[in-house]
Structure 1
Amino acid sequence: MPLLGYVVVFFLFCCSYALNLTALFLPKWLTHIIPKPFYSETNYGLFKQCQSLTGDCQPFPRVANDDCKEEGFCELWRAAGAGMILGAVVGTLTIVALLGVMCSHREKRERGWKLVSGLFTYVLLLAVPSIISFSIIAYLYNTSSIFYSGTKYDQSFIMNSVSWCLSTILSLSMLLASFIGNPDYHYYERLD
């Protein structure tokens, strides 16, 4: 695979990874807005809840606030956060592997094709925890009484969905390229 192919894969993966990290840390998975008479906005993140009226953020979910009174709510919410953290760790390892192959000289890049074509598994491992987190938040949004009328999906939820869609497409493209591509090293013969 030429260096340009590695650069394209690296750029697309970095875009997906940046969206994943932003969704992980930005506390805007769900938002509840009260427009009248006094504007108030409550943002729910994976780890904290922020109120616009007071301007402060608190850990979320908390037993002290009765966030965990519904059976399984806290466990599922924490599982969504853990899934996003797992995806971030796998993403970091994938970036290191891609940089290692890209920064090496041509002969190593040609041998690195096996590694990169196998990286579709790692890219998919970034997508799977994100899909699980996405599904958990969507499930809780639709079933929990904590998120009452007026609550809607927000920026982090959308970034997460774009991230796992991009990762899935990239992973499938890399898998397809490994099957139909003809890496140069298969046909390379050394002349002495």
Structure 2
Amino acid sequence: MDFHLVPRGEDRNYTGFLTKTIVYTSSLIVFLASFGLTISSIVVPKWISYHSGSSGIAYSYGLHRRCSSLTNTCESFPQREDCHDGDRYFCSMWRSVGFLMSFAVVLEGMSLVAFLIILSGGKRLRESGWKVLSLLILLSVIVQACSTSIVAYLNDNEPRFFVGWKLDESWIYCTVSWCVSLFCAVALIFSVRVLPSEGGYELIPDHS
């Protein structure tokens, strides 16, 4: 019995297209939530905070602002006077976190563009675009994970953060963000690799 290669049916082509489109669209929705958390972690100045229940005094450090309940204002941080002598190490580390988070936003922005290009493209992009897309997402995960690790280290080891200081909501936003992004990347890689290819050829027996 001989076999011949023939194009797969249109119904199978359509099913493969529809399935991959659903996967990319679902991943995009999840990733948008992660991107929103990343932006929130940068905007909200509460990576590390202190609150005294008895006196009601509260302080908080954001990536670019420092806030105090005594003045009810927030000021730019770190400033030049915050980066002298023994504070230079802390200042450098804190600015590095700010740079890393800005880089993470760039990577996530590129990931969003990649999502849109893949969804608006043809079969070839849906079949191979996940490689670049997942790489961009994983890079943003690594950058954000490094940022949260550095801030956690400073909270535990920096003398200015004594008993009572704690990691606050912005740190949590960032942690949840990179965890969601990691899940999105892994789910995308797994789904696209196990799904059948769109179109192509299949073997059918020749009874002649």
TM-score normalised according to structure 1 size? 0.87
Runs (5+) with no aligned partner, structure 2: 1-18, 203-208
Kindly indicate whether residue 181 of structure 2 is the aligned counterpart of residue 164 of structure 1: no
From 90, 114, 129, the equivalent of 2:107 is: 90
Conserved 8 A contact 1:117-1:174: no
- Sequence identity percentage: 27
Q: Aligned runs of 1:113-152 on 2, under 5 Å?
A: 113=126, 114-152=128-166
Q: Aligned runs of 1:1-192 on 2, under 5 Å?
A: 1-37=19-55, 39-65=56-82, 69-70=86-87, 72-104=89-121, 108=122, 110-113=123-126, 114-187=128-201
Deviation at 1:43, TM superposition (A): 1.1
1:165–1:121 Cα change, 3 Å: same
- Work out which of the two has the higher radius of gyration on C-alpha atoms and give 1 or 2: 2
Conserved 8 A contact 2:45-2:170: yes
Deviation at 1:57, TM superposition (A): 1.1
Structure 2: how far apart are the matches of 1:144 and 1:5?
44
In structure 1, what residue type is equivalent to 2:191? A
Deviation at 1:62, TM superposition (A): 2.7
Conserved 8 A contact 2:130-2:189: no
Structure 2: how far apart are the matches of 1:130 and 1:120?
15
1:179–1:102 Cα change, 3 Å: closer
Aligned residue pair count: 183
Structure with bigger strand share is: 2
Deviation at 1:164, TM superposition (A): 0.7
Conserved 8 A contact 1:134-1:157: yes
Per-residue Cα deviation, 1:118-166 (whole angstroms, up to 9, x for no partner)? 3110111111110010010000000001111111111100011101111
Deviation at 1:179, TM superposition (A): 3.0
Describe the SS at the equivalent of 1:184.
Answer: coil
Answer 1 or 2: higher relative contact order, Cα 8 Å, separation at least 6: 2
Runs (5+) with no aligned partner, structure 1: none
TM-score normalised according to structure 2 size? 0.81
1:135–1:186 Cα change, 3 Å: farther
Deviation at 1:13, TM superposition (A): 0.8
Deviation at 1:72, TM superposition (A): 1.5
Structure 1: how far apart are the matches of 2:39 and 2:84?
25
Per-residue Cα deviation, 1:84-117 (whole angstroms, up to 9, x for no partner)? 100100111111121222234xxx1x22221134
Describe the SS at the equivalent of 1:64.
Answer: helix
